[in-house]
């Protein structure tokens, strides 16, 4: 998978044991190190997902037009009722509210609220299994973003050195800020937070979420249950554009190549879906079942890579036009980054080299979708790994402090190692002047030549990103 283009691995903490999670994270980190790859590890926490309780016999079939009751008794359910893990259930639901079970195939409507239970009418029935997910799109549930299981899993993830934590069922920016305070108190301020957008409530609060998070994930599985299915593609495009505009990485996820769980080739519709995510401006496209439990995980990665590369080649050649997102920043480093992209595009630069401490400058440059590869150089290992989720960026190690002359030499040596680069090719370099401790305020054009000093890239050439 690494050889075929994987830039990040997600561990889903909703499944598996502590020992399995620890073993997987250690194996992935050591494998990436042996491959000399800056790979991000993402811990995806279960979050406050609402589930029904146990059902006698494991499942029950609900018929259209029938009735059922939800309560919080904790008792085993049957054809008449089931227990649910919803605090203040009777205050959260109102007559007429829709409720969805599982993947949304079973649709219920609240018909009444009485005592400690909620009566529902079965609109579209089907088989319901124990512990199926329950969705209340119109409810405003006040559940903590990190439940006890999440806090336990978070401790394991942080101990194993993950680069990002994905927060499930984020409702507002306050959820992200609460998780950030938890990370700060635990001594891990460098761990990024990805807000998974899978609730209708999150769409109304997306500006606050983007302001607090380090990136977002368009989690189309649960989001496609909470919003009308006919609007899902429109919501995806809007979310991607909003993230692009504020220079935050955006992941598009769920059922990208779902048929490849059991097939060695994707469907035509799936190939089109992946390509459209790239055209929308997604930084990352993510596999789930395909690589976690599917029969063809390597083939799924290979197809994902092929589709991304083919689509991006068409964009670079001008065969397909993609609107670049408008910037929402008037800060100096944003202006310099945009100037660097214009220079690179007009000169046909072999690369844009951008020193970065936090990753911000590299993200701003990449968000303008330059035709040239963005080579981010940083002395911060955590920054280099986090940039694995940003489109078009290859991260390389560099010394902690480089005077401007040494930085020029380092950039020339780094670009000269790339396949296909020839003497005389141009390089666009961004920098802070004086370099140490300054924001990005300078952009210059170099040419590939023999470096004047001894500065050399600390790592070999990296493969082009998909």
For the stretch 4-23, pLDDT in tens is 989 999 999 988 899 999 99
- Span 10-37, average pLDDT: 95
Structure confidence at residue 456 (pLDDT): 43
Label residue 452 by pLDDT band (50, 70, 90).
Answer: very low
Strands, E, within 67-191: which ranges? 67-71, 81-83, 98-101, 106-114, 117-124, 126-129, 134-135, 164-167
Closest C-alpha to 269, from 315, 243, 233, 236:
233
Active site residue 254: yes
- Among the options 10, 180, 220, 384, which is catalytic? 10
> How many C-beta atoms lie closer than 10 Å to residue 83's C-beta?
21
pTM of the model: 0.86
Confidence at residue 90, expressed as pLDDT on a 0 to 100 scale: 77
Cα–Cα distances in angstroms (integers) from residue 308 to residues 42, 146, 209, 290, 429, in the given order: 21, 34, 27, 17, 27
Catalytic residue among 81, 196, 248, 465: 196
Q: Binning pLDDT at 50, 70 and 90, where does residue 67 land?
A: very high
Range of weakest confidence among 109-113, 116-120, 433-437: 433-437
pLDDT band at 463 (very low <50, low <70, confident <90, very high): very low
Contact status, residue 387 vs residue 283, Cβ threshold 8 Å: no
What's the confidence (pLDDT) of residue 459? 38
- Name all domains of the chain by residue range, CATH numbers in brackets: 8-48+143-254 (3.20.20.60), 56-135 (2.40.33.10), 332-447 (3.40.1380.20)
Q: What is the pLDDT of residue 330?
A: 56
**Which of 254, 284, 356, 383 is flagged as catalytic?**
254
Q: Which pLDDT score, from 0 to 100, does residue 363 have?
A: 94
The rounded distance, in Å, linking the Cα atoms of 383 and 192 is 10
Residues in the chain, overall count: 466
pLDDT digits (tens, 9 = 90+) for 161-214: 999 999 999 999 999 999 999 999 999 999 999 999 998 889 999 999 999 999
10: annotated active-site residue: yes
* Secondary structure letter of residue 382 according to DSSP: H
Residue 278 tokens read as 């790239």
Question: What percent of the chain has pLDDT above 70?
Answer: 92
Residue with tokens 């670049």: 324
CB 415 within 8 A of CB 434: no
Mean pLDDT of the chain: 89
Active-site residue (options: 51, 121, 138, 324): 51
């Amino acid at each position: 998978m690494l050889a075929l283009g994987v830039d990040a691995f997600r561990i889903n903490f909703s499944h598996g044991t502590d020992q399995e999670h620890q073993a997987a994270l250690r194996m992935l980190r050591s494998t990436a190190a042996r491959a000399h790859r800056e790979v991000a590890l993402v811990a995806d926490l279960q979050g406050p997902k609402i589930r029904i309780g146990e059902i006698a016999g494991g499942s029950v079939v609900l018929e259209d037009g029938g009735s059922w009751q939800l309560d919080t008794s904790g008792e085993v359910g049957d054809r008449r009722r089931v227990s649910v893990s919803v605090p203040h259930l009777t205050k959260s639901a109102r007559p007429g509210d829709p409720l969805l079970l599982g993947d949304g195939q079973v649709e219920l409507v609240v018909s009444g609220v009485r005592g400690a239970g909620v009566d529902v009418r079965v609109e579209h029935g089907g088989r319901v299994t124990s512990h199926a997910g329950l969705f209340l799109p119109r409810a405003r549930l006040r559940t903590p973003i990190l439940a006890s299981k999440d806090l336990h899993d978070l401790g394991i993830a942080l101990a194993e050195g993950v680069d990002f934590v994905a927060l499930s069922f984020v409702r507002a920016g306050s959820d992200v800020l609460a998780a950030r305070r938890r990370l700060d108190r635990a001594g891990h301020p460098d761990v990024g937070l990805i807000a998974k957008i899978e609730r209708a409530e999150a769409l109304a609060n997306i500006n606050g979420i983007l302001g607090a998070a380090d990136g977002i994930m368009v989690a189309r599985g649960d989001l496609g249950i909470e919003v009308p299915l006919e609007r899902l593609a429109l919501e995806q495009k809007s979310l991607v554009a909003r993230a692009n505009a504020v220079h935050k990485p955006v992941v598009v996820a769920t059922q990208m190549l779902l048929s490849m769980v059991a097939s060695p080739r994707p469907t035509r519709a799936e190939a089109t879906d992946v390509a459209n995510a790239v055209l929308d401006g997604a930084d990352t496209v993510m596999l789930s079942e395909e690589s976690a439990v599917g029969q063809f995980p390597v083939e799924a990665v290979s197809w994902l890579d092929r589709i991304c590369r083919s689509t991006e080649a068409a964009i670079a050649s001008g065969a397909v036009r993609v609107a670049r997102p408008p910037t929402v920043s008037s800060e100096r480093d944003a202006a310099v980054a945009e100037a660097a992209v214009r220079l690179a595009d007009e000169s046909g630069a072999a690369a844009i080299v951008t020193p970065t401490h936090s990753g911000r400058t590299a993200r701003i440059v990449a968000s303008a979708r330059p035709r040239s590869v963005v080579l981010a150089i940083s002395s911060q290992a955590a920054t280099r790994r986090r940039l694995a989720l940003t489109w078009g960026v290859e991260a390389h190690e560099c010394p902690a402090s480089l005077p401007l002359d040494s930085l020029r030499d380092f950039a020339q040596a780094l670009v000269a190692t790339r396949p296909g680069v020839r003497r005389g090719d141009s390089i666009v370099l961004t920098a802070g002047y004086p370099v140490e401790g300054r924001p990005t305020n300078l952009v210059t054009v170099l040419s590939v030549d023999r470096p004047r000093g001894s500065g050399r890239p600390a790592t070999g050439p990296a493969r082009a990103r998909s």
